Structures are given as C-alpha cells and as structure tokens.
Amino acid sequence: MRKIKVIVTAGYGTNCERETAYACQIAGADQVDIVHLSSLIYGEVRIDDYHLLCLPGGFLDGDHLGAAQAGAHRFRYARVKDTEERLLDQVLRLIEQGGLIIGICNGFQLLVKLGLLPGFDRNYENRLTSLTYNDSGRFEDRWVKLKINPDSPCVFTQGLTEMYLPVRHGEGKFVVKDEGILKRLRENKQIVCQYADPKTGEPTMEYPYNPNGSVEAIAGICDETGRIFGLMPHPEAYNHFTNHPRWRRGEGDTLGVSLFKNAVSYLRQNL
C-alpha cells in the first residue's frame, strides 16, 4: 500500500497551514509536509510528488489586486528555477495522475481565479467564476450551517449531508460570469455546499446565515471529477469537539476533519 502524502502550501500571507496540516494528520495521512511557496518556485519541492494538495486560508499577498489574485499570477506565470515549468503545470499533472486538491477560504479564491474551478470539460485554465466583497461590506467572522449536496461527485463530502463550520473572510461572495455557468453548475451537481438556515436546514440568502450574499447561497463547489474542491468555511478549524462554540452545552456537529478523512480514504482505495 502506497503512503498517502499531503502537501500544505504556506507563505506570502497564508495563516491556516498548521491547522490544515494537523487535520490531515489526524485524518490518517502518512506524510504531511508544510511547504513554503518559495521552495516550490526554487524547485526544492515538487507538487506532483504528492497525492493531496491543500491550499489553506489566509491573506495571500495581502489580498492585493483582490483576494488571491496576485497568488494566481504566481502559479500561472512564475517559472520554477532553471526550468520553463510553471507551478500550475505541476498542479495540472497532479490532477492527471488522480490526485486531490482542496482550497479553503483563500485557497478557494485561488482555485477560482486560476480557473481550476469550476473546470468545465477539464479546462482548468478558464476563469468563469470569482469570489468578491461580502454584501455586508465588512469582514465576517462567525459559524454557519451548511447544507451538503448528497448527489455531488465531490470526494471530500461523501456521506455528509450538513456541517457547522466557521467562516472568516472579507471577500467570500461567490459570483458567476453569467446565468449559463450557474445552470451548468446545477446540472453537473458541482454545487457541493450552500449556506443554510439553521432552523430549516435549507439554503438561504438571509444574512447572517448567508454571511456574504453568494449567488444561490453557494459556499463551495467542485470540478466535474469531484477531485478538486473549494469552500469558504474552514473545516480545519473544527478538528475537535471543543472547537464548537456551544460544546459546554453538549452541542456538537460533524467535525470538519471528516472532509480530510474522506480524502485519505479515497486515495487509499484509488492509488
């Protein structure tokens, strides 16, 4: 049995790499490495030597030019030292080899601005969606209920129907280029999770349950294969029952670590 190797990127403003790495470790991954983006650019470490790529939350490049916009330019245009290879080329090979990718918050912003999501027809360099400023006009830091689509092909959410996770972002509003893209996301079941009313469990546009005004209450989407997943809430921040804001009252929900356990389980069965 091959060892499951996970790479968690760090540097240039990310700040959730340690929690993300810890979530992967307790999910059962055999090797989890936190790697600075400069080590990738200098060719000291290669993305396609791993099975799961985690793009964690934070403020990549200070969100200059828009959240993750400068970071997307680095992946798309920067060349690995002494080569003509882009970081994005390594990411694309990881996908071709059957690997998994999860982008959380800033990582989700990076995925959509690269075009890796929604990835229609496996065209992973065509940007069709984005994440922009919250309707509230301010940074949102709160816990939200999520409804998870059980019919989605997303590897990370298999067997899950709802979750309760924290959000902390200023640019989390999911938007699409046109209605046709939204229609295709629906038809392909690529809308993985939506902000939900905590009483009814149904998707909502009502603030603060939908903290940013995302179209169709979208909190996360995947590509058509289900192997690339991006979401604004932070599953790595709910890695123990005491993380829940009302755990002393005996309340709790499905741990965010469940997403990473699903990923490790999938890789063990498919490598």
105 is catalytic: yes
Annotated catalytic residue within 105, 154, 193, 222? 105
- Give the separation between CA 261 and CA 62, rounded to whole angstroms: 31
CB 61 within 8 A of CB 12: yes
- Give the separation between CA 36 and CA 33, rounded to whole angstroms: 10
**Residue 121, Cβ density class (10 Å: 0-12 exposed, 13-18 middle, ≥19 buried):** exposed
Residue 225 CB neighbours (<10 A): 14
Quick one: three-class SS letters along 110-177?
HHHHHCCCCCHHHCCCCCCEEEECCCCCCCEEEEEEEEECCCCCCHHHCCCCEEEEEEEECCCEEEEC
236 is catalytic: yes
Return the C-alpha torsion angle 40, 45, 47, 52, nearest 10.
-120
Signed CA dihedral, 90, 94, 95, 101: sign only? negative
Residue 68 CB neighbours (<10 A): 31
- For residue 67, the surrounding DSSP H or E stretch is none
If we measure between CA atoms, which residue out of 52, 237, 99, 222 comes closest to residue 149?
A: 222
Q: Tell me which residues are annotated as active site.
A: 105, 234, 236
